[in-house]
Amino acid sequence: MTKPICLSVGRLIAFVFLVSLSGCGGSRDETIAGVIVPVPKAMSRGADKPVEMNFLSFGAGQASFHGNMDADKIAEFYKKEMPARGWQQNMNMRSGGALLAFSKEGKTLLVAVARQNDESVLSLTVGGAVR
C-alpha cells in the first residue's frame, strides 16, 4: 500500500518561491564607468566593447548584454535589485520593452530592455559627476 504525499500549504509556498528564484538564475556584478551594477546571469555581455567617457566633471559609460531572459523578468529584476542596493527608482516606462532610471550618490543608471532577433537586449548606461 502506498502512502499519500501530504504537503502543507507553507511547504508548498516555500517550494514555489524557491522555484521562482531559480528561474532568475542569480546575478553577477559588472563595473560600468566605475559603478558596480548587477546583471542577471542569464544575460551575456555583448560583443561590442563597453563605452566610457570623461568630459570635464562628467563621466559616463554604457555596456550591452543579450540573452533569452524575458524582458519583463529583466525589468522586475532591476526594480527589486537596485532599491536593495540603495538606488532610488526615478522612472519606469514599459511598452513591449522597458526603460528604467535609478539614481544614487550623484550617479544615474538607465536600464533599457528590448526584444531583438528572438532574444532580449539589455543596455546599461551610467552617468554622473566625476569625483
d(CA 36, CA 61): 12
Q: What is the pLDDT of residues 42-83, one digit of tens each?
A: 999 987 766 777 767 678 999 999 999 999 999 999 999 999
Q: For the domain covering 27-129, report its CATH number.
A: 3.30.310
What is the predicted pLDDT for the residue at 99? 97
C-alpha cell at 46: 555583448
d(CA 33, CA 31): 7
d(CA 4, CA 23): 29
The mean pLDDT of the chain is 81
Taking alpha carbons only, the member of 23, 18, 66, 68 closest to residue 45 is 66
In the chain, domain spans: 27-129
Q: What is the pLDDT of residues 25-40, one digit of tens each?
A: 699 999 998 899 999 9
Residue 14 has pLDDT above 70, yes or no: no
